[in-house]
């Protein structure tokens, strides 16, 4: 009962449209990293290639390198052949306005009957749980980093994650797994969640901030962290 009430309460904090929003995550395939969009376990949805703004790879001890120029795009996948211990993607959704007839991918200033509007950005990251670099900050605007050593973390174990905005911990971000809100980051930007998957775990965080702008009432940032669970 407490878990259900928590999920309902947290879901109420999310921005308009997010109740039916979709996740973005990264998987490691054969010789390449794959960016997907939709609901894990269901059919992948189309990805607008023009909205993918960066693909970053950390290969070792050096800085992150943008490999967007070498990526291949298909309607439902973005692939980048690279050897990385951490890999991230930035997707700029743009402005969305809620009207009596539904959502429009336009700023409020261009939608006369807009009820509410928000700016959307999504960030996805994969890390090699066995690498010491798994906890490195890759530098995206919203980012999840593991606090717990994930190299030995198995299904059913609890792990702590820290959510960062421009490299600094942020409180009040809503953490979720499988699109189900499970917790909120504390004053240290941290949240502790039980690992649910036996293969690829994907943890997400949503941060909503009010803004005063002719184009939007809020900014909605979403980030995911995916990693392969220890056996």
- What pLDDT is attached to residue 21? 59
Quote the CA–CA distance of 162 and 147 in Å, as a whole number.
6
Q: Which residue has the tokens 């930007």?
A: 189
Sorted by sequence, the CB contacts under 8 Å of residue 87 that are 6+ apart come out as 26, 28, 33, 55, 56, 57, 58, 80, 125, 126, 127
Helix spans in the chain (H): 2-11
User: 10 Å Cβ neighbour count for 175?
Assistant: 23
Residue 130 is predicted with a pLDDT of: 95
With CA atoms as reference, report the closest residue to 38 among 228, 230, 224.
224
Under DSSP, is residue 5 helix (H, G, I), strand (E, B) or coil?
helix
Per-residue pLDDT tens, the chain, 231 aa: give them: 344 444 444 444 444 444 445 789 999 988 899 999 998 777 889 999 999 999 999 997 888 999 999 999 999 999 999 999 999 999 999 999 999 999 999 999 999 999 999 999 999 999 999 999 999 999 999 999 999 999 999 999 999 999 999 999 999 999 999 889 999 999 999 999 999 999 999 999 999 999 999 999 999 999 999 999 998
| CA atoms of 70 and 82, how far apart (whole Å) | 9
Per-residue confidence (pLDDT) for residue 22, from 0 to 100: 76
**Residue 191: which of 164, 154, 218, 228 has the closest Cα?**
164
Pairwise CA distance, residues 104 & 39, whole Å: 21
Is this prediction's pTM over 0.75?
yes
Tokens of 78: 């973005």
């Amino acid at each position: 009962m407490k878990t259900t009430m928590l999920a309902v309460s947290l879901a109420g904090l999310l921005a308009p449209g997010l109740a039916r929003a979709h996740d973005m995550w990264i998987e490691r395939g054969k010789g390449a990293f794959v960016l997907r969009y939709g609901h894990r376990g269901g059919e992948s949805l189309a990805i607008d290639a023009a909205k993918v703004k960066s693909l970053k790879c950390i290969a070792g001890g050096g800085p992150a390198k943008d490999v967007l120029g070498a990526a291949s795009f298909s309607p439902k996948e973005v692939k980048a052949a690279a050897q990385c211990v951490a890999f991230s993607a930035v997707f700029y959704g743009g402005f969305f306005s809620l009207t009596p007839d539904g959502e429009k991918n336009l700023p409020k200033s261009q939608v006369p009957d807009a009820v509410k509007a928000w700016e959307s950005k999504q960030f996805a990251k994969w890390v090699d749980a066995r690498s010491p670099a798994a906890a490195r900050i890759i530098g995206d605007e919203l980012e999840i980093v593991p606090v717990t050593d994930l190299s030995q973390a198995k299904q059913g174990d609890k792990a702590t994650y820290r959510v960062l905005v421009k490299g600094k911990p942020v409180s009040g971000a809503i953490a979720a797994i499988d699109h189900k809100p499970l917790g909120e980051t504390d004053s240290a930007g941290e949240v502790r969640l039980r690992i649910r998957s036996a293969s690829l775990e994907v943890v997400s965080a949503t941060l909503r901030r009010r803004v005063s702008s002719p184009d939007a009432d809020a900014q909605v940032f979403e980030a995911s962290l995916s990693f392969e669970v220890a056996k």
